[in-house]
Structure 1
C-alpha cells in the first residue's frame, strides 16, 4: 500500500506532530475496537475472539522486527515487561544505561541497587565507549525519547559482544518507522501506542531462547500456559515452552485495535514509512536552520515554541526544555508548513 492510500485511513486534525507521545489509529483499528466494545456492552460474544487478536498481533509484530513468533511475549508496558528481565539479573551485576534514558528502562534497574546491582549512567551518544570488561548488561533505547537521537546499534552491540555483556533494547520510539532487527539483542521491548498506532496497553518483549532460559516467569498466569484454556485452575505448573511463558494476560480491547494497526504498518512497509517520516523531519529541520538528520523526531531550542505552535493549532511537545516535533505516516507537507509558519520561519 502506498503512503497516500494509507493516509486516507486516518482522520487527524491538521498539525498533529506528536506521535512520540502517542500515535493516531487507522480506521480499521478504530472500527475493530468500537465493534468489540459494542459486543462487550451487549454480551454478544465470548472473550475468545478478543484473545485471538493478541495472537494475530504477535505474529505481525514478529515479522516487523525479523523475529520468530515463538520468541515474542506480550504485555502492556515497558517497565512491566522488563520486570521479569530485571528480576532475573544476578546480584553484583553491573548495568550500563544512557543518562538520558526514559525512566521505564532506567528505574527498574535502579530499583535493584538494594540487591547489589550497580547501575552506571553515561551519555547516550558515547554509550559504546563506556562498555568495558566489567559491564554485564547494556540497556538502551534505539531512539531516545527526548531528542530523537538514533542509537549507534552496530557500535553498541559490537562493544557488548566483546565484553560478554547482555543487550536489552527499548524499541518503543523506533518500531513502526525505523527498520529494527530484534535478533541482534538478547532482549527487545516495545509498547505499541506510539509509532505502531495502537491503543495504550499493548506491548511486546522479544527474547533469545538461550537468554530466556535464565528468566523466571514470575508474572505468569493462565495466559502463559502451554494451553491457556487448560490452565485455569490448580497445579502443576504447565507453562508454554516458548516465549508465551512470559506473557501477561492481555487487555482484550486494546489488542483488538492493535492487530489491524500493525497490519497496516506491514502493508505500507517500514522502509517506506521511514523515508516519508525522515523527509518531513528534515524539511522542518531545514526551516530551523539545522543540518539534515536520520530521525523522524526533531528536537530544537526554539524559545516560545510551545505557545506559538499551540496558537496555530499545532500539537507538538517540549522535552527537557527543547521543542520536540515528530512526524509519521499520516503527517503531510501541509503539517510541516503549518508549524513553520507558526514559528515565523516561512519564507
Structure 2
C-alpha cells in the first residue's frame, strides 16, 4: 500500500478529484520538466541534433520497462486513435471475416475498424453488455473461425468492467485471430502480463493513467509486425536520420524495429520531458502497488456507496482503479455538474457514475464525496 502522494501533485485541499479516467493531473516534477521543455524552444541554439533522438529513446525505454517489453517493440504516437489506425492498417481482413468489438466501446477503438470492414468487405461483430458484466465469458462465446481481429480494452471505459485478456488471447490464437488492445484506461494503474496476453498491437495515450501530457502516447508492436506499413512517412523514422547533413540522400529503409511507426516530430521537445518524468515516477511506485492502493480506496468508497442505494460492480469483475456506480432508479440528472460546483470531480458515462481516484486522493476526499452523495441522492 502506498500512502497518499498528494504532496507530489498541485491539488488544492478543497478539490476532491476522482476523475483520473477523464484526465490525470501532472505531477509537480512533470510540470516542472514540461516548463523547461517549453523554455528550451526560446533558446533553439541549445537544441542539438542528438536531442532529436535522446529523450524519445528514453521515453521509449521507460514505457517498455513499464509493460515488460523490449524498447525495439515500442513506437511513439500522439494519440490512441493514431495507434489504432496503425494497427488497422497492418492487419489483414478478408471479405466475410469479422472484427470483434464491445458494446459502448470508446469511439477511437471503433471508427478505424468500421472503416477497415467497409473497405475489405468484412463485418463488425459487437458483443452486447452481459447482464452479469462478465465480459470475458461473453467474448469467449463470440469467438469463432470467422473472427480475424478482436479490438478490446483491458477494462471497459464506462465502469471498469474487467476482461481476462490472457484467456481471450488464447482463444483468439486458437482460431488464428489477431488481438489489438486499447489500454489507455488501464496502463499505469493495472498490471498487464505481456507474455501471457501476447497482443499484436497495444496502444495507450499518456494523459490519463500514465499521468503524462496530452498528445503523447505509446504503441507496442509485436515483432512479427515490425516490417509493416507506417501511418505516415517522416524523416525521423528513416535509417540514418541522425545524419542531418545527409538527409537529402533519401532513404527507403527505416529505423530499426517498431521505430518505423513513430509519429512525425516524435522528439517533441516541449512534452517529452514531462512524459519521461511521469513514467519515472510510475516505475518508482510500481504498477502492482498502485493497483493495490487504488483498489483499497475504491473498496472503501463502494462499501459506503452501497449504503446509499448505489450498485457497484462486484470487485472480482472490475479493475481495482475503476469504480462504476449505478442506481436502480437512475442517477439524478446533472449529477456530475452538481458535484463539480462543490469541488468534487467525477464522470457520468452511460448509466454509470465513474469514480477513478489516484494516489493523490485520501480519506478527506472520500468523506467529502460520500457526504455530497448523501445529500444529492436524497438520504
Structure 2 length-normalised TM: 0.85
| Per-residue Cα deviation, 1:51-95 (whole angstroms, up to 9, x for no partner) | 422211111110110111110111111111222221233342421
Q: Deviations over 1:267-321 (max 9, x none)?
A: 0110111011111111111112146524311112332532442232101111114
Match of 1:210 among 224, 233, 249: 224
- Aligned match of 1:310 in 325, 340, 361? 340
- Structure 1 residue 49: Cα displacement: 3.4
Deviation string, structure 1 residues 119-177 (Cα, Å, up to 9, x no partner): 21113611122011111111100121111111121321121121111111111111111
The alignment status of 1:323 with 2:353, answered yes or no, reads yes
**Alpha-carbon shift at residue 234 of structure 1 (Å):** 4.4
Counterpart selection for 1:225 from 220, 238, 250: 238
**Equivalent residue of 2:345, what SS?**
coil
1:202-226 deviations in Å (ceiling 9; x for gaps): 111111111333x212413112123
Cα distance in 1 between the residues matched to 2:248 and 2:349: 47
State the alpha-carbon separation in 2 of the partners of residues 51 and 330 from structure 1.
33
Give every structure 1 segment of 4 or more consecutive aligned residues whose post-TM-superposition deviation is greater than 6 Å: none
Answer whether contact 2:77 2:219 (CA < 8 A) is retained. yes
Is 1:137 matched up with 2:149?
yes
Relative to 1, partners in 2 of residues 1:131 and 1:67: Cα closer, same or farther, differing over 3 Å?
same
Q: Which runs of structure 2 are paired with 1:178-217 in the superposition (5 Å)? A: 178-183=190-195, 184-213=198-227, 215-217=228-230
- 1:78-157 aligned at under 5 Å gives the runs 78-90=80-92, 91-92=94-95, 93-112=97-116, 113-123=118-128, 125=135, 126-157=138-169
Equivalent pair of 1:182/1:188 in contact (CA under 8 Å): no
Match of 1:169 in 2: 181
| Secondary structure in structure 1 of the residue aligned to 2:17 | coil
Which stretch has the larger CA shift, 183-192 or 67-76?
183-192
CA distance in 2, matches of 1:228, 1:324: 45
Q: CA deviation at 1:178?
A: 0.3
Distance, in Å, in 2 between the alignment partners of 1:5 and 1:303 is 31
Q: Structure 1 residue 327: deviation in Å?
A: 1.1
Work out the CA distance in 2 between the residues paired with 1:129 and 1:327: 33
* Cα distance in 1 between the residues matched to 2:270 and 2:124: 37
Equivalent position SS for 1:167: strand
Tell me which moved more, 120-129 or 103-112: 120-129
Normalising by structure 1, we get a TM-score of: 0.92
Q: How many residues are aligned here?
A: 345
Query: Counterparts of 2:231 and 2:287 in 1: how far apart (Å)?
Result: 34
Whether the 8 Å CA contact 1:50–1:255 is kept in 2: the answer is: no
Shift of 1:326: 0.4
- Helix, strand or coil at the partner of 1:189: strand
8 Å CA contact retained: 2:6, 2:359: yes
SS of the counterpart of 1:97?
strand
The 3-state SS of whatever aligns with 2:204 is: strand
Q: Unmatched 5+ residue regions in structure 1? A: none
Moved more, 287-296 or 78-87: 287-296
Q: Is the 8 Å Cα contact of residues 149 and 177 (structure 2) preserved in structure 1?
A: yes
1:12 maps to 11
For structure 2, list consecutive stretches of 5 or more residues without a partner in the other structure.
130-134
CA drift of 1:253 comes to 1.4
RMSD: 2.1
Note closer, same or farther for the CA distance 1:51–1:256 as it changes in structure 2 (3 Å cut).
farther
CA shift, 1:5, in A, is 7.4
